[in-house]
Amino acid sequence: MAQIQDTGVDVPIGMTTTEAPFIEMSRSKGEMYVEQPYGLYSEDNHEAWRRLYARMLPRWEKYANEHFMKGIENLCLNPEAVPKLEDVNQFLCPLTGFSAKAVSGYVPAYLFFDALRNREFPTTITIRRKDKLEYLPEPDIFHDIAGHVPMHTDKAFADTLVRFGECAKTAAEIAQEIPNPEERAHQVASIIRAMARFFWFTIEFGLMRDSRGQGLKVYGSGLLSSFGEIEYCIESPEVQRYPIQMEWVVNQAFEIDKYQPLLFIVDSFDHLYSLVDALELWMKEGKLSNVAPCEPEVNEEDLKSFLHWDQA
Ligand SMILES: [Fe+2]
């Protein structure tokens, strides 16, 4: 048994996704932000990281965008062991002001986006099983640290995330101006759905034209952390790849447990930033208040987080 220093409580070793006693304990106490209990990672957890990192590296070299590769280098990620967030932040913070903050699991949408506004990235600290390395619908530390965080070393990308976080604040402020509670809930759910779709098709599954004329590259973290899909999304004739269009993205449903059949391309992170500006403008003009229904579902907790953001 390992001991968590400040509590003196013995917690069994192991930080495996859906099987980590530390996570269950933190969530039962209602703790969303936690300290990364580094001593609890098992040898199997480190082995899972080693395997994931080793098999992704050649695919990153082939398919990832140049900013990501620079980010991997700048973060000095250890291929041999689950990273300590403290070490990652030492390299990350001086570059863009971003830091990775350990969480015990799901973070309601408004709080997640608002953390981005404050240059904090809520980071999952569990890791998938070493014998089940394929893409999981739930995030893990490989998805968050190896898939997302290298992108946060790039200034233009980091500024875009902050801008996205500001849009969440704008949405919450718009909600306050709608007097009828039912109408307020309907419009806010629609705005959350639009924001979730935009986030999905850009930050999680975005493609970008390579500035050196080398075709399409991957910048979305869902793709960057998936051994199978990073290749499939570029090579497969079954994937539709289109220049991004706001009216399409905010109305397009998606499924999280399959390889994506449709992806959108941006020209650069400056282009992406300008799209987030447009997203906010559309929000203010009411163009996101009735987007097409279907996926993703907006759950009660996400909705409440936007409606009662000032009480959080
Ligand atoms: Fe993600």
pLDDT per residue over 50-71, tens digit each?
999 999 999 999 999 999 999 9
Looking at residue 264, its pLDDT comes to: 98
Whether the ω angle into residue 150 lies within 30 degrees of 0, i.e. cis, is no
Please give the DSSP secondary-structure letter assigned to residue 210. -
- Mean pLDDT, the chain, integer: 94
pTM of the model: 0.94
222 C-alpha vs ligand 1 centroid, how far in Å? 6
Looking at residue 110, its pLDDT comes to: 95
Phi-psi region of 8 (alpha: psi -120 to 50; beta: other; left: phi over 0): left
82 C-alpha vs ligand 1 centroid, how far in Å? 18
Helices (H), 142-290: 155-176, 181-199, 221-224, 227-235, 246-249, 269-284
Q: Where are the domains of the chain?
A: 26-311
- Using alpha carbons only, give the angle 271, 277, 282 rounded to the nearest 5 degrees: 120
Looking at residue 243, its pLDDT comes to: 97
Helices (H) and strands (E) in the chain, counts: 13, 8
What is the token pair recorded at 307? 């409606």
Question: Residue 241 above 70 pLDDT?
Answer: yes
205 C-alpha vs ligand 1 centroid, how far in Å? 9
pLDDT per residue over 153-189, tens digit each?
999 999 999 999 999 999 999 999 999 999 999 999 9
56: which residues sit within 8 A by CB, 6+ positions away?
146, 225, 227, 230
Cα gap 152→145, rounded to integer Å? 10
3 C-alpha vs ligand 1 centroid, how far in Å? 30
Phi-psi region of 30 (alpha: psi -120 to 50; beta: other; left: phi over 0): left
281 C-alpha vs ligand 1 centroid, how far in Å? 25
Q: Which CATH topology does 26-311 take?
A: Phenylalanine Hydroxylase (1.10.800)
**E strand or H helix that includes residue 110:** helix 109-117
212 C-alpha vs ligand 1 centroid, how far in Å? 27
89: which residues sit within 8 A by CB, 6+ positions away?
99, 100
Looking at residue 98, its pLDDT comes to: 98
Question: Residue 3 above 60 pLDDT?
Answer: no
